[in-house]
Structure 1
Amino acid sequence: MKGLRFGQLRSFHTALRPLEANKKSEGSRLLPVKMLSHPLGVFQKPESGDPHYFVDERTWKEWGRDVRDKEKHMKKRKELMEEFGESRFRDMKELRQHNGKQWLSPAAFFRAEKSRYMPNFLGRTLASPQIVSTTDTLEGNVSIVRMFTSVFGEEHARSYVTNADRYLDKFDLVQNRDFQIVNFNIPENKIKSWMLSWYVGSMAKKCPPDERKRYFIIEHLGKLMRGIKNAIGHTNVYTGYVYVVDQKCRIRWAASGLATETDRETLWKTVRALSKNGPDGLKPKVEEDDDDIE
């Protein structure tokens, strides 16, 4: 048993090694990461209070009764084990190889007419226990949405706004901060969602008061979790994701894993374009550095 625990600890520690260290050990096994070449999101425009996914409406009493049902429990256990076997080890390997990157971020934002929508999620914020729609916060605003499921992912997402003041000054956004930063903390399953609820108070204390209403703890996504996550490219449970969402709730740019200098530059260029030029993001005469992609 001690050997097993040591092995697990060693595996966990190895996952934290930076990419440079892994190049020595992984060698030719390091798989390439491709550029994100297509828009992410859902085709249907989100509506407040109308989630794009199944919501588990069982009470805790009903949920507990289903857990105690041996037949249902064994079936669910088999499904979870299959899912874990398929994805968790793969997710950890990807985290080790590419600092969490699932794709290389596009060099510019997606065209408005090609872009898809950020799904509407339901959740509680650090400011209130009431369940609200994320669309109400996103609509009408330029938003940097940071999405994560794990501690690793939260660190990834935070890296995109490192040294933000420098970029705000560079892109002339200091005086006119026409954008917001929104956090989506998405628990992996209902048990983790319940556990996370115990830490809301301490999380709120660490979060500035004016940012608490934009920090969402999303309700467990239920049966369609995989489908909705695939639509927005959220395919690794350990990775953090960042999206620039325009005033019409369309995803105009996306990134995953730890931020590079190029990622930060492109993110803030996109924010500037959408903030100054509206949802289309383009001036009548398109400047070279504000070009978009198909």
Structure 2
Amino acid sequence: MIRSRRPIRPASIKFDSAACLLCQWRAFSASYRRLAEKETPAPPPPKAPGPLDEAPRSYGKAVSEFTPKPLSRPIGLPNPPRPGENTGIDARTWKQRRDDFVDYDKHLIRRKQLTKKISTPYFREWSNMRMHKGKSFLAPPGLFKAELALYFPNFYGQTLLKDKIPRDTTPLLEDKISVVSVFSSQWAENQAATFASQKNNPELHEVVKNSGGLAQLVQINVEENALKAMIVRLFMSSLRKKLGPDNWGRYFLVRKGISEEIRDAVGLLNSKVGYTYLLDGECRIRWAGSGPSEGDEKEGLVKGTRRLIKELEIQRMERPTPLPQKQILEGRSQKPAASAA
């Protein structure tokens, strides 16, 4: 018996090629119509203007007139800081460096960064100092709410401790109320001193002293220039005498790791200006000031520090107290006896 692989069909049945093409066209036109009728996704809502959008910067369009306004919204980073971030240390292997060197996309990103840095006018920041002494914003009238506040970044640098080991700022700032002064020059340091120095704000120092170790004053000196950083290191002995041994670990000399994104988020818009931040125990920025203190900004800093100290006291009282080590060992020794019984 011979079997044929062709399908057996009557000779009277004939396929109409035109009809098949017509069906295909109808199916295509229907699917195309459905795709055309499908609703296009709505465009994302426009980004709300930030509290620092109009503030003068060292890059971008030059600003000839500017009036600082109080911060209407929190400033900072969306994620909590972690030790080891923003160190400026390149931990890549030679193979990873080679791969990044031949990566054209990363090359374009690096080119944009270098172009932006080169195109920055050298005297732009000094010219911005003419407007309200470089003040980028006014302090908010009150504290930012804890659930809405953003985070202060981690910095990495050398302290005044004689071991000369670089440290992260985050472990120092956690679980304490911190008044942080950030500056990059003597002029900026003098501006930050109008908020937090013993001479200009003795009431703040009294509040910190009576907090029982819950509050502290921290200074961060950002010196990205190698020559200026070397000069600061030469005068570290005089800084130790000025600040005292208790504050040696609260003075940081930071050289690297501060990107433009961090500066824009936190408000460090001018390296010639001093900035002051009030942080809670979770490193959130609850209050901030820039430039020299004006009006009732010093009083606002003192009131905010008192309030955060009370909040931290309540939080510590509500925490479960850990058992002493002796009770933990006794509990472990009683478990086998109970199971044997």
Q: Same fold (TM over 0.5)?
A: yes
1 or 2 for the larger relative contact order (CA 8 Å, sep ≥6)?
1
For the aligned residues, what is the CA RMSD? 2.9
The partner residue of 2:256 within 220, 223, 236 is: 220
Q: Distance in 2 between matches of 1:98 and 1:87?
A: 20
The letter of the residue matching 2:244 is P
For the residue of structure 2 that corresponds to 1:278, the secondary structure is helix
In structure 2, the CA distance between the partners of 1:257 and 1:280, relative to structure 1 (3 Å rule), is: farther
Q: How does 1:1-294 map to 2 (within 5 A)?
A: 30-48=65-83, 50-52=84-86, 54-56=88-90, 83=117, 86-128=120-162, 129-161=164-196, 162-166=199-203, 175-176=210-211, 178-221=214-257, 225-278=259-312
Inter-partner Cα distance in structure 1 for 2:226 and 2:75: 26
* Cα distance per residue 1:229-258 (max 9 Å; x no partner): 222110101000000010011111111000
Count of residues in correspondence between the two structures: 230
Give, as a single letter, the amino acid of the residue that structure 1 aligns with 2:171: D
Q: Describe the shift of the 1:174–1:206 C-alpha distance in structure 2 as closer, same or farther (beyond 3 A).
A: closer
Structure 1 residues 207 and 109: alpha-carbon distance in aligned structure 2, compared to 1, 3 A threshold: same
Return closer, same or farther for 1:142/1:98 CA change in 2, 3 Å cut-off: same
Pair 164,34 (structure 1): closer, same or farther in 2 beyond 3 Å: closer
Query: Is residue 248–residue 279 contact of structure 1 (8 Å, CA) maintained in 2?
Result: no
Q: Aligned equivalents of 2:233 and 2:209: distance in 1?
A: 35
Tell me the distance in 2 between the aligned counterparts of 1:133 and 1:105: 27
Could you tell me how far apart the structure 2 residues matched to 1:244 and 1:186 are?
Answer: 18
Inter-partner Cα distance in structure 2 for 1:205 and 1:43: 38
Q: Secondary structure at the match of 2:135?
A: coil
Shift of 1:189: 3.1
Aligned mates of 1:44, 1:117 — CA distance in 2 = 6
**Change in CA separation of 1:82 and 1:218 when aligned onto 2, cut-off 3 Å:** same
Q: Which runs of 5+ in 2 are unaligned?
A: 1-63, 93-109, 316-341
Please, what TM-score do these two structures have when normalized by structure 2? Answer: 0.60
- 1:267 counterpart SS class: helix
1:81–1:217 Cα change, 3 Å: same
With over 3 angstroms needed to count, the CA separation of the structure-2 counterparts of 1:147 and 1:168, relative to structure 1, is closer
Report the TM-score, using the length of structure 1 for normalisation.
Answer: 0.69
CA contact (8 A) 2:273 2:290 kept: yes
Name whichever structure is richer in helix by fraction: 1
Question: In the TM superposition, what whole-angstrom CA distance separates every residue of 1:98-140 from its partner, at most 9, and x where no partner exists?
Answer: 1221011111111111111111111111123111110111001
State the 1:53 CA deviation: 5.7
Alignment-mate amino acid for residue 151 of structure 1: Q
Q: Kindly tell me: are residues 225 and 185 of structure 1, through their superposed partners in 2, closer, same or farther at Cα, counting changes over 3 Å?
A: same
Percent of aligned pairs with the same amino acid: 32
In structure 1, the gaps of 5 or more residues are: 1-28, 59-75, 282-294
Q: 1:200 to 1:165 in 2, by over 3 A?
A: closer
1:3 counterpart residue number: none
Quickly say closer, same or farther: Cα 1:208–1:80, change in 2 above 3 A.
farther
